[in-house]
Structure 1
Amino acid sequence: MTANAKTTEIRDRFWETVPLEEMNAAEWEALCDGCGKCCMSKLIDDDTDEIYYTTVACRLFDAGACRCTDYENRLEQVPDCVRLTPENVRTIPWLPKTCAYRLLAEDRPLHNWHPLLTGDRDSVHRAHVSMRHRVTAFEQDMAHEGEYLDHMVEEGM
């Protein structure tokens, strides 16, 4: 096996035994459940640091497919897009409570609907924890910050 092939191999139930820092690129990407919550705008209260979640999507988000339309180039196209890493998932306060990266960073198990457990990429949508068909606006349509308040939701939606 070549070194390159080894980096794309996904080990059986790797999320239970491999620390985040030791996952290969394919395993790291497989952790994403495809919920799309991280692609929604969040509001942070400057005084309290409280986080408010919205249904306002990034301009690159496809609300039907529940995925980024240009994932490979998203960081260049959307300056405030965040690349998740083993180091920063432990410090990003707005990661959803259902996020596999957050769960594993907190030594908690994946939810039973996670695609790694079900073998089905649509299980996150059937469990009604994704943003599929829940987007109410896109960031480019927001004329001023106050408009985001009309799109606030509970994080656990």
Structure 2
Amino acid sequence: MSDPIARKGLAPRFWERKRLDQMSPDEWEALCDGCGKCCLNKLEDEDSGEVALTRVACRLLDDATCRCAQYEVRHQFVPDCIVLKPSTIHEHMYWLPQTCAYRLLHLGQPLFDWHPLVSGRADTVHVAGVSMQDRTVSEFDVADEDWEDHIIDEPQGR
């Protein structure tokens, strides 16, 4: 993780000095590291509430870039795609990836060194092995009843 002590004497970056609800829309969007994990279909146990991650991706996820291919108009194709907002983040914490910047900052934790805002490079999330780049299958290719065959552990990086 990023070490705030190593930055001693340097001005805090926007995510270090602002609460999530104080960020501009551009700052909020910049927090997304591009891992693609939030775009994976999940299975929730009705009894325990436990959420299992699958490698079955939303039809709009570009497996190569780990970005939504139709982000601005995604609700036209996937009406139930969740819009994460500062006011609703607490409702979605149970399924957000463990490495997610929104989760980390909400919990008062720093971003990882591989996060593009820290590293200054968009590809470090992939280089670190945290993203789903080239690891997914499309939901068009897997029947709903077969999703359990595609349960994975969340990539945490190396």
The TM tier, using the shorter chain, reads 0.7 to 0.9
Show the counterpart of 2:147: 148
Which ranges in structure 2 are unaligned for 5 or more consecutive residues? 1-10
Distance 2:12 2:125 in 1: 20
Sequence identity (%): 51
Q: CA deviation at 1:156?
A: 4.0
Show the counterpart of 2:72: 72
Q: TM-score, with normalisation over the residues of structure 1?
A: 0.88
Distance 2:90 2:46 in 1: 21
**Alpha-carbon displacement from aligned partner over 1:66-118 (angstroms, at most 9, x marks no partner):** 11100001122102210110022222110000000000001111011100000
Code of the residue aligned with 1:40 in structure 2: it is: L
Distance 1:130 1:75 in 2: 23
The RMSD of aligned alpha carbons is 1.4
Q: TM-score, with normalisation over the residues of structure 2?
A: 0.87
Which ranges in structure 1 are unaligned for 5 or more consecutive residues? 1-10
Asked if the contact 2:131/2:155 (under 8 Å) is kept, the reply is no
1:1-157 aligned at under 5 Å gives the runs: 13-92=13-92, 93-135=94-136, 137-143=137-143, 145-157=144-156
Code of the residue aligned with 1:94 in structure 2: it is: W
1:140 is paired with a residue whose SS is coil
Asked if the contact 1:20/1:28 (under 8 Å) is kept, the reply is yes
Aligned residues: 145
Distance 1:118 1:129 in 2: 14
**Alpha-carbon displacement from aligned partner over 1:105-148 (angstroms, at most 9, x marks no partner):** 0111101110000000000000000010011x2112232x3200
Q: CA deviation at 1:155?
A: 2.4
**Alpha-carbon displacement from aligned partner over 1:35-73 (angstroms, at most 9, x marks no partner):** 000000000001110100000000011101111100001
Asked if the contact 1:96/1:156 (under 8 Å) is kept, the reply is no
Distance 2:145 2:24 in 1: 41
Asked if the contact 2:45/2:51 (under 8 Å) is kept, the reply is yes
Distance 2:98 2:105 in 1: 11
Asked if the contact 2:96/2:103 (under 8 Å) is kept, the reply is yes
